[in-house]
Copies of this chain bind each other. A is one copy, B any other.
Amino acid sequence: MIEESKSLDGVMAAMGEAARRGAEALRLSSAETRTAAILAMAGAVRASADAILAANAKDLAAAETNGVTGPMLERLMLNPDRIEAMAAGLEAVSQIPDPLGRVTDHWVRPNGLDFSRVRTPIGVIAIIYESRPNVTADAAALCIRSGNAAVLRGGSECLASNMAIHAAVTAGLEAAGLPAACVQTVPTTDRDAVGLILAGLKDTKGHRCLDLIIPRGGRSLVARVQADARAPVLGHLEGLCHTFVHQEADLAKARAIVVNAKLRRVSVCGSLETLLIDKVAAERLLVPIAADLLAKGCELRGDEAACALVPQMIPATLEDWTTEYLAPILSVRIVDGVAGAADHIRHYGSGHTDAIITENSAVAEAFIAEVDSAIVLVNASTQFADGGEFGFGAEIGIATDKLHARGPVGAEQLTTFKYVVRGTGQTRP
C-alpha cells in the first residue's frame, strides 16, 4: 500500500518524525481530550463495522488460500460481536483514570526546595504484534490514555483489517482535535519494516524516534525483538507458572484453585504449568487433585514419587519442568516444603506468576519472601495474572523484566515521570 515512488526507508522515517510530533501533541493535551478521542474511536469502530468486516473478509480469504488454519485463523476472524467487543473495550479504556500529571511523590528539603515527582508519557511506543486485529484498537486506546504516540505493526495476515480499524482510530483522534500522527500503522507487509522499527525508527537525520518497543506475541517474536532491538523493550518470554500446595492447605480450596489455574483457559500466560506438592502430605493432597484434573481431561506428567501415587500419571522428563504447555497438560513434582518449592521455582521458573496454597500465614510469608517472581499469589488461581483482574482496566501484556514495569502493563505502566523542583532563589553552596 506504499506508492512505488516512495522507498520503505523514507516512509518509515516520515512515520518516525510524525510520531514525534504526535507525541508532543499528546504530552500537552488534556485528559478530557484523550478521553474524548478514545470514545470517538469507539463510535467510529461501530460506524465502520461494515468496512472493517469487508476488509477482514479479504484477509481471511487470503489467509485460507495461504493455508492458515486452526487457532491462528480463529484469532484473525472478526464478526459483529467481536467488533462490538472492540468498541466496548475502547469505552472501558476511556474510563480508566488518567495517569498523567499525577504527583506520585512530594517532599520539601531543609533549604526550602519543594520536590514533586509527576507522571508524564514515555513518548513514542512501537507495538509489534501477531495477527490479532483487536490489538490494533486496544493498543491505540492504551497509548492515547497514557499520552503516548503509537506506531503499530500487526501481523501480515491482518493488514487489511488493521488498516480499516486504523481508519476508525484516526477518525476518533481527529474528532477530538488530535493529530492523526498520534496513532500510525505500518501500511505494508514488508518485513524490512520490522527491522527499521527494531533499529529504533530513525528520522531522516538518523535520530531514534522510538522510546519503547513492546512485542506482543509468541516466544519467538519476543526473543527476536529482545535480541535485535536498539530501543528499550518491554516484554515477556513466557509464563511458566507454579502452584505449591503446602501440607496445611485447605484441600477444598486447593482442588478448586488448581483446576481453575490449569484449565480455565489453557492458552493464557497465567495458566498453571507445574504443580508442586508438599512431601509430608503428598498422598492426601495429590490423589484428589489429580482425580479432578484427570476427570476434566488433563494429562499429568509426574516425577517418580508423584507417579507412585497416581497410576494414570506419565513419567515427566527434565524438559517438562521447562515447558510452557499452553495445553491441558500439567507437570507434577513432590517437593520438601517451602524451601523445596522455592528451589524448584528458582531453577525452572520464568519469574512470571507463582502461587502457594496454605492456611498457615507464616508459611505464606516465607514463600512470598523466597520467590522472586513478578506476581506471587497466596490461596488464589494463577489465572488472576491479568491487568483487568489487577484493576488496571486493560493491559498490553505482563512484563517479566525487572526494570520499569513488572507484571501487568496498563495505562499507568506506559508512563514515566519527571521531577519538578520549586525554589525561591536557592543556589548550591
Interface residues of A (CB under 8 A from B): 24, 27-28, 107, 109, 113, 115, 120, 122-123, 211-212, 232, 234, 250, 252-253, 256-257, 259-261, 264, 346, 364, 368-370, 372-381, 383-384, 386, 389-391, 401-404, 406-407, 416-428
- Across the two chains, which residue of chain B brings its CB closest to A417? B406
Q: How far is the CB of A281 from chain B (nearest CB, A)?
A: 18
Contact of A428 among B113, B264, B369, B378 (CB under 8 A): B264
- Chain B residues whose C-beta falls within 8 Å of the C-beta of A253 in the assembled complex: 424-425
Asked if residues A211 and B380 are in contact (CB atoms below 8 Å), the reply is no
A368 to B28, CA, bound (A): 11
A260 interface neighbour in B257, B402, B428, Cβ under 8 Å: B428
Given contacts A257-B427, A264-B428, A403-B404, contact A418 B374 (CB under 8 A): yes
Contact A428 B379 (CB under 8 A): no
Chain B residues with Cβ below 8 Å from A370 are 28
Cβ-defined contact, A422 with B378, below 8 A = yes
Tell me which residues across on chain B come within 8 A of A123, comparing CB atoms. 402
Can you list 23 pairs linking A and B with CB atoms under 8 Å apart? A24-B346, A109-B389, A113-B380, A113-B384, A120-B372, A122-B402, A232-B232, A232-B401, A256-B427, A257-B425, A257-B426, A257-B427, A260-B427, A375-B418, A376-B418, A376-B421, A379-B426, A380-B426, A381-B426, A384-B423, A386-B428, A403-B403, A407-B418
A109-B389, A364-B422 given. 5 additional CB < 8 A pairs? A260-B428, A374-B419, A376-B419, A380-B421, A407-B418
**What is the CA–CA distance of A253 and B112 in the complex, to the nearest angstrom?**
15
Q: How far is the CA of A264 from the CA of B259 in the complex (A)?
A: 66
Most chain B beta-carbon neighbours within 10 Å: one of A260, A261, A373, A404: A404
Report the separation of the CA atoms of residues A419 and B374 in the bound assembly, to the nearest whole angstrom: 6
Chain B residue, CB-CB nearest to A117:
B407
A-B complex: 9 closest residue pairs judged by Cβ atoms = A380-B423, A260-B427, A253-B425, A403-B404, A383-B428, A404-B404, A402-B416, A380-B426, A379-B423
Main secondary structure of the interface of A (DSSP, over half): mixed
A372 touches which of B250, B389, B418 (Cβ 8 Å):
B418
Interchain CB contact under 8 A, B427 and A373? no
Contact of A427 among B264, B369, B401, B421 (CB under 8 A): B264
- A232 adjacent to B120 (CB under 8 Å): no
Q: How far, in angstroms, from A250 to B250 measured CA to CA in the complex? A: 69
Bound together, the chains give a CA A405 to CA B419 distance in angstroms of: 11
B384 touches A428 (CB 8 A): yes
B426/A384 in contact, CB under 8 A? yes
Q: Which residue from B109, B390, B425 sits with its C-beta under 8 Å from A115?
A: B390
Taking CB as reference atom, which chain B residue is nearest A365?
B420
CA distance A377 to B380 in the complex (A): 46
Q: Which of B28, B390, B404, B421 contacts A378 (CB 8 A)?
A: B421
**What is the CA–CA distance of A419 and B378 in the complex, to the nearest angstrom?**
11
Provide the bound-state CA to CA distance between A260 and B109, in Å. 19
Name the B residues within 8 Å of A261 (CB-CB).
Answer: 427
Q: Is the CB of A427 within 8 A of B381?
A: yes
Central interface residue in A373, A380, A389, by most chain B CB within 10 Å? A380
Q: Cβ of A425 and Cβ of B109 under 8 Å apart?
A: no
Distance in angstroms from A371 CB to nearest chain B CB is 8
Q: Contact check, A402 vs B257: say whether CB atoms are below 8 A apart.
A: no
Question: In the complex, which residue of chain B has the Cβ closest to the Cβ of A265?
Answer: B428
> Least Cβ distance of A211 to chain B in Å?
6
Determine which of B107, B377, B418, B425 lies in contact with A379 in the assembled complex, contact meaning CB atoms within 8 Å: B425
Is the beta-carbon distance between B379 and A420 smaller than 8 angstroms?
no
A421, closest chain B residue (CB): B377
Minimal beta-carbon separation of A380 from chain B (angstroms): 3
Residue of B nearest to A422 (CB): B378
Docked-complex contact B426 and A416, CB < 8 angstroms: no
Most B CB atoms within 10 A — which of A24, A28, A257, A418? A418
Q: Which residues of B contact A120 (CB under 8 A)?
A: 372
Residues of B within 8 A of A379 (CB): 422-426
Bound state CA distance, A391 and B364, in angstroms? 35
In whole Å, how far is A242's beta carbon from the nearest beta carbon of chain B? Answer: 14
